[in-house]
Structure 1
Amino acid sequence: MPVKEKAPPIKRGREPQRKKQKGKDKSKNEGGADEVVELDVKNLLEKRSRQSSEENGGKQEEKEEITASVIHEGKKDSPFPETEVTVSEMSSTGEGLALSPSGDHVYVVPFALPGETARVKVYKTIIHKSYSLTDLIEIVKPSPQRDDSLIKCQYFGKCSGCQLQMIPYEDQLQHKKRIIEKAYANFSGILPELIPAIGDTMGSPMQYGYRTKLTPHFTQPARNRKLEHGDGPPEIPPIGFMIKGRRKVMDIEDCPLGTDIVRSGLKNERKRVAANLHEYKYGGTLLIRESTKRIEKNEKNEALPSDDKVIRKTFPDYVEEKTYITDQNGISVEYVDNYQFHNVAGTFFQNNNSILQAFTGYVRNNALHPEPKSDVSKTGLETPEVSNPKLKYLLDAYCGSGLFTIVLSDIFRSSLGIDVAVSSIKCARENAKLSRVPNTGFAAADAADLFKEIPYPADQTLLVIDPPRKGCDTNFLNQLLAFKPTRVLYVSCNVHTQARDVGVLVEGKNGVRYDIESIRGFDFFPQTSHVESVAVLTKVVESKAE
């Protein structure tokens, strides 16, 4: 078995706010899948090392030599070693983690649950980080938690899209709560006592049939590029998503996570590409995005049937028509409550509409707070020196097409959305008009000066941020701390970069810092290991000694 000298225990010195971080600078942690797995592996090995040390009375175990059969880097002329392992725990990316018998190496096992015995095939070993990536051959002894009758996709176990279809939904929600807990432990640098208990993950009303957007892709075979007229039919390539653990596309004819109209669109797009392969020199990424239209109900449109291009459903006051868009620059339409949102189809908008109403409702309920907390760390005083006025203004950074600016507008005197994308701001302004929201404005701002001309007093302002997966850069966080809004709601689809950025705000700068009021996850992506998170932060007001 591969072995590695045990790492020393993590030092947990008590600083005023945060733990010391060695080596890689925190701002460079990107929260990618590889980094997350490596941290989970590291923590499991350290836990096993501590247990072993306690069992041996503090004595170190003797090490085995690394065997050549396991040091495999996926070379064609190397055998693929197989082994039987028992999974200890599940990583934040959804893979099982299994310790070697010596406890000094970890096997990363896809589609496996804690307690299961699995037969795996190693295809790559990262020696200096003491873990191996594997393919699952079979589950030898299943966990009581496993229920394969829950699986609704014929590609599950091969496609990289889903990881959790074999476990009950309530267990998925508990797993995602744990993902957030580990994200803040591993990425924030915040002392444990400063992190509130993570709230229960809010479940999605729909666990299948919820995705309003799919982006399958394909690679044009080299043979097709060489064909000339009369040389025979082109080879139809796989059109779908990546095979788990491989840089190879898997042919996907249907995805049960998609809404009905998106699934229909996937079938139609596959046929269209197959008939027009000559238009794609190297391949491409397709777009199938749902769009919704509500029309006044009458006898004529109530009787209209659905087909593979439009699905109709009758409601008390209107008929809803679901269609799909394949043009990246087309305009898709989405409804949240009674608010209507137009969006450039190829840009970001939440793609699980079934949870959006509850999600935005939670954000509304946590938007306002009467006053910031006082800093009692130095003086022991419990009452703030100054009680700031009630929040009256909303500033929505990374506003996109205006989701939060618009749905929160009625609880603020004025709301402003800012974004670096001019096309998104154009849609946001149109959406405010469609929803007849008078007290909102939108501005396209340069990333280096997002807060330069904000018209609101900071002590009366709520800041909502919903950045892309990479999170906020250092420049943005410095601007935020310089502006000093009273309250911050940080929404993120990557809890690891969220935790990293929240750590910066908790540490603070130039006397400005924030406390975490609450953190809660939202399951926008059932059957997968992804989880959305909302962190609520309140600015600390430093009290002065008398």
Structure 2
Amino acid sequence: MVSIPAPAAATAVVDGQRAPAQRNGAPKRPNPGSNRAWKQKKTKRERNITEGSSEEVLQYDILALLESRKSGPGTDAAAEDTIPAENDEPLPEEGTEIEVDVLELSSTGDGLAMRPGSGQVYVVPFTIPGDTARVKVFRHLRREQHSVADFVSVTKPSPLRDDARVQCHYFASCGGCQFQMLDYPEQLRLKRRVLDKAYRNFANLPAELVPAVGDTIGSPLQYGYRTKLTPHFDGPPGFRPSKRGRNPKVPSESCPDIGFMQKGKRKVLDIEDCPIGTTAVRLGLARERERMRREFQKYERGATILLRENTRRYLDDDDNQGEAPPEDGDHLPPYTARSEGDGFVDVKSCQTDSKATTTEYIGEHTFTNPAGSFFQNNNSILPIFTAYIKDHILPPPSSSSPGAGAIKYLIDAYSGSGLFTITLASVFQHSTGIDIAADSIASAGRNAALNGLGEDRCKFIAADAGQLFRNVAYAPDETVVVLDPPRKGCDADFLAQLRRFGPRRVLYVSCNVHTQARDVGVLVRGEGEGARYHLESLVGFDFFPQTGHVEGVAILNRHDSKAEAADQKDSRYR
């Protein structure tokens, strides 16, 4: 992966101490008595930056903005002279308020702003390009050529901004949402751009090997979609946790603030309601806040509250074990919500016990999970998402390589509770799901049975994904692999094993499009032993409207040397 150069620094903070400046990036004079080359130390913050992290993504966007200011259309030498050299201009004192012009939007969801005549970038949340904003300078990071600022107000709004769209009065304080001031088509356009930039910055591939990113596929619900929320609260004032329990236990004198972290601060913002949550989850939040007002003295430390939607479905053509679906109003149990679908009635409640079983439905499929386990948090988009995966899991008939047989098998790596294995089972003769977590595999087995799938159709293996192909006997030419790893992406050992196995087709789903781009680059470059792939398509799904997050789906096909040779031979006789 391309490394990001550290900008020159007028002052550097190393382990909390200010170090003297090195003007214009000149290296410190080496010690004549030492044979070791001098190397500038990284700050603690720089040492904690990992591949595909928000810090690294932000730094790419900042450098791109600075470069565009130097070489953008219409830029001349006189214009460049109005921007002081890097880190040379005096910066406002930390804690002061200034006005900045927002020029760009980072893939982190934060605005990137500058002041006229300045070469310093200000990272400002809750702003969009075209805004002029009043901000409070929080910290200067000269080595990284930017300053962090708190949003205060908009003094001149962007044409894209309409604050009447904002549906949460905690917006611009809570760190959960960034885009409530934007209309939904603009949010989708921005998320397409996030995916495009991820592949430009992290795939390390020439542009001609990366297809144009498709339009982001939107969520049917832009509010009221989240089926899981995890508000939290801090311990009593003055509480300090101790591993040996030696610190005195001090009960709270009043109910603590319950909610989510305030943007840019280590402080819980008291939040009574969250409009991106489903109705049942919001009712659950109200119920838990009432409970905490009665029971807060029982808590001697902070905690997280789990709010997970659970669905009880009543079918029109079923006796429902003698139960009729409750009606709205007085007949509906407290803190529950009722909705009607085609041939069924759903009653939705909120579960707070992480070990309790919750149920949800995706089209004709039923899934149960422990409430505290991972499952996608936007049920409204899952039917569209799984239908897209099902429609694209096999190559189009026109793209089949000469002499290639049909794909018959599915390997679902990082399978969790079986979402892809089960929803795709009808496409394949047999499928195998694998996950490192034994409890996820147990849930997957139960879900397969719930959906009428026996071991003759699919099986699940609890093992490290890095050892996956030792447990599967499918022929690579007849196999497609689905990848859905955690945010850190796939490790190098797994990617090497995948390439040695060489499945005919790979479909990669990711909640972090930057680590996805890095991994896809490895498969496409095909360096060393194993198969090499070409990238067929890229598209994003909006699982989290009002936020900067986008889910990426990349589809790859194996370069088949035998098929290519046969195609070349045929072409000689055409």
Normalising TM by the smaller chain, what interval? 0.7 to 0.9
Unpaired segments ≥5 residues, structure 1: 8-23, 73-79, 375-383
**Cα offset, 1:227, TM superposition:** 9.1
What is the RMSD of the two structures over their aligned residues, measured on CA atoms? 2.8
More displaced stretch, 173-182 vs 451-460: 451-460
- Aligned equivalents of 2:326, 2:86: Cα separation in 1: 73
What SS class does the counterpart of residue 203 from structure 1 fall into? coil
**Equivalent pair of 1:29/1:500 in contact (CA under 8 Å):** no
Match of 1:143 in 2: 158
Change (3 A) 1:94 1:539: same
- Aligned equivalents of 1:352, 1:335: Cα separation in 2: 12
More displaced stretch, 324-333 vs 506-515: 506-515
Match of 1:107 in 2: 122
Match of 1:471 in 2: 489
- Aligned equivalents of 2:428, 2:204: Cα separation in 1: 34
**Equivalent pair of 1:164/1:172 in contact (CA under 8 Å):** yes
What SS class does the counterpart of residue 520 from structure 2 fall into? helix
Alignment of 1:357-396 (within 5 A): 357-369=383-395, 387-396=403-412
- Aligned equivalents of 2:80, 2:150: Cα separation in 1: 35
Q: Find the partner of 2:67 among 46, 52, 71.
A: 46
**Equivalent pair of 2:96/2:137 in contact (CA under 8 Å):** yes
Q: Given residue 456 of structure 1, which amino acid in structure 2 is its aligned partner?
A: Y
- Aligned equivalents of 2:163, 2:396: Cα separation in 1: 49
Q: Find the partner of 1:415 among 402, 414, 431.
A: 431
**Equivalent pair of 1:227/1:234 in contact (CA under 8 Å):** no
Q: Find the partner of 1:173 among 188, 195, 220.
A: 188
Match of 2:335 in 1: 309
- Aligned equivalents of 1:511, 1:326: Cα separation in 2: 46
- Aligned equivalents of 1:293, 1:238: Cα separation in 2: 32
What SS class does the counterpart of residue 520 from structure 1 fall into? strand
**Equivalent pair of 2:127/2:133 in contact (CA under 8 Å):** yes
More displaced stretch, 523-532 vs 448-457: 448-457
- Aligned equivalents of 1:32, 1:265: Cα separation in 2: 32
- Aligned equivalents of 1:242, 1:155: Cα separation in 2: 11
- Aligned equivalents of 2:511, 2:470: Cα separation in 1: 27
Change (3 A) 1:450 1:130: same
Match of 1:205 in 2: 220
Q: Given residue 236 of structure 1, which amino acid in structure 2 is its aligned partner?
A: C
**Cα offset, 1:222, TM superposition:** 2.7
CA offsets 1:222-277 (integer angstroms, 9 cap, x no match)? 35799989x9x722221111111112111111000000000000111122233223
**Equivalent pair of 1:372/1:538 in contact (CA under 8 Å):** no
Change (3 A) 1:71 1:503: farther
Change (3 A) 1:101 1:321: same
CA offsets 1:146-173 (integer angstroms, 9 cap, x no match)? 1111110010010000000001000000
After TM superposition, the score normalised by the length of structure 1 is: 0.87
Match of 1:346 in 2: 372
CA offsets 1:390-412 (integer angstroms, 9 cap, x no match)? 11101100000000000110011
After TM superposition, the score normalised by the length of structure 2 is: 0.83
Alignment of 1:415-434 (within 5 A): 415-434=431-450
Q: Find the partner of 2:418 among 395, 402, 405.
A: 402
Match of 1:164 in 2: 179
More displaced stretch, 42-51 vs 332-341: 42-51
RCO comparison, higher one (Cα < 8 Å, 6+): 1
Q: Find the partner of 2:522 among 504, 507, 519.
A: 504
What SS class does the counterpart of residue 197 from structure 2 fall into? helix
**Cα offset, 1:62, TM superposition:** 5.7
Q: Given residue 418 of structure 2, which amino acid in structure 1 is its aligned partner?
A: G
- Aligned equivalents of 1:6, 1:177: Cα separation in 2: 37
Change (3 A) 1:296 1:364: closer
Q: Find the partner of 2:511 among 493, 516, 528.
A: 493
- Aligned equivalents of 1:529, 1:471: Cα separation in 2: 19
**Cα offset, 1:336, TM superposition:** 0.5
Change (3 A) 1:369 1:64: closer
Alignment of 1:112-127 (within 5 A): 112-127=127-142
CA offsets 1:466-507 (integer angstroms, 9 cap, x no match)? 111111111111111111110000001111111111111111
**Equivalent pair of 2:162/2:181 in contact (CA under 8 Å):** yes
Change (3 A) 1:181 1:411: same
Match of 1:16 in 2: none
- Aligned equivalents of 1:39, 1:65: Cα separation in 2: 18
Change (3 A) 1:362 1:300: closer
Q: How many corresponding residue pairs?
A: 508
More displaced stretch, 159-168 vs 113-122: 113-122
What SS class does the counterpart of residue 529 from structure 1 fall into? coil
Alignment of 1:212-227 (within 5 A): 212-222=227-237
> Is 1:289 aligned to residue 308 of structure 2?
yes
What SS class does the counterpart of residue 559 from structure 2 fall into? strand
**Equivalent pair of 1:153/1:256 in contact (CA under 8 Å):** yes
Q: Find the partner of 1:56 among 77, 102, 105.
A: 77
Alignment of 1:325-344 (within 5 A): 325-344=351-370
Q: Given residue 140 of structure 1, which amino acid in structure 2 is its aligned partner?
A: T
> Is 1:70 aligned to residue 92 of structure 2?
yes
Unpaired segments ≥5 residues, structure 2: 1-7, 11-22, 26-41, 43-48, 241-246, 570-574
Q: Percent identity, aligned pairs only?
A: 48
More displaced stretch, 56-65 vs 463-472: 56-65
> Is 1:459 aligned to residue 474 of structure 2?
no
Q: Find the partner of 1:527 among 542, 546, 553.
A: 546
Match of 1:89 in 2: 104
